[in-house]
């Protein structure tokens, strides 16, 4: 009889734990500059080339965090501002966890690998600068949740594009987006102190889904 009572007590304790988890789920991470997606999202398959004319594919995302943003080298404000800010934040971000910054050019017509090499080296030679055919770029930007559009005609066209960053996990899945805020007279930007704080929170609590 005592054994039966003990077994029942253990089962009740176990059920109590399950109910506690069910009705008191872990508190979601509160980010200062972005949004954590409810679940990891697989990226579309892609085959791009980096500034060293090396292949850059989904496999290039494995084993390290990746911070993506899109743009083009002829960008007059958002892209150089973003790269400059990320160059300043990069040492602190990389101390938290291994991280690669990926500048994805959505203007492959003008942004050759040689052009990307010169451009990104000005900010940080460790950054990745990648591009490819539009048939590869578009599905990737869509699965990242970023958008772009060519504006104007002739050789001096511009590219309207998202100014946020997307964080990709070491398993190659989309995890979070960091959204810029606009200040009067300045291009929209993500504050470095906030993204460093947010990245630390995400890494501390991240659990791979597979």
φ, ψ for residue 144, nearest 5 deg: -80, -20
Q: Are strands 55-57 and 47-50 parallel, antiparallel or unpaired?
A: antiparallel
On whether 161 is known to bind a ligand per the annotation, the reply is: yes
Which two three-digit tokens encode residue 51?
């500034």
Contacts 24+ apart (CB under 8 A), 74-82: 74/107, 74/110, 74/158, 74/159, 75/159, 75/161, 77/187, 78/161, 78/163, 78/187, 78/188, 78/189, 79/103, 80/123, 81/187, 81/189, 82/163, 82/165, 82/189
On whether 79 is known to bind a ligand per the annotation, the reply is: yes
Per the annotation, where are the binding residues? Answer: 75, 79, 161
Per the annotation, where are the binding residues for Cu cation? Answer: 75, 79, 161
């Amino acid at each position: 009889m005592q054994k039966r009572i003990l077994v029942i007590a253990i089962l009740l304790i176990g059920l109590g734990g399950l109910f506690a988890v069910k009705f008191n789920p872990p508190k979601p991470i509160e980010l200062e500059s972005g949004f954590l997606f409810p679940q990891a999202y697989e990226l579309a398959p892609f085959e791009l080339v980096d500034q060293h004319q090396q292949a850059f594919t989904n496999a290039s995302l494995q084993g390290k965090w990746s911070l993506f943003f899109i743009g083009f080298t002829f960008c007059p404000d958002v892209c150089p501002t973003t790269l400059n800010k990320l160059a300043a934040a990069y040492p602190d971000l990389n101390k938290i966890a291994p991280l690669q910054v990926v500048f994805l050019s959505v203007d492959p017509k003008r942004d050759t690998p040689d052009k990307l090499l010169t451009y990104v080296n000005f900010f940080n030679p460790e950054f990745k600068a990648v591009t490819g055919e539009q048939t590869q770029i578009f599905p990737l930007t869509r699965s990242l949740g970023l958008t772009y559009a060519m504006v104007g005609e002739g050789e001096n066209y511009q590219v309207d594009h998202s100014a946020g960053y997307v964080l990709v996990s070491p398993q190659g899945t989309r995890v979070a987006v960091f959204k810029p805020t606009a200040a009067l007279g300045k291009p929209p930007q993500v504050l470095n102190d906030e993204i460093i704080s947010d990245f630390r929170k995400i890494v501390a609590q991240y659990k791979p889904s597979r």
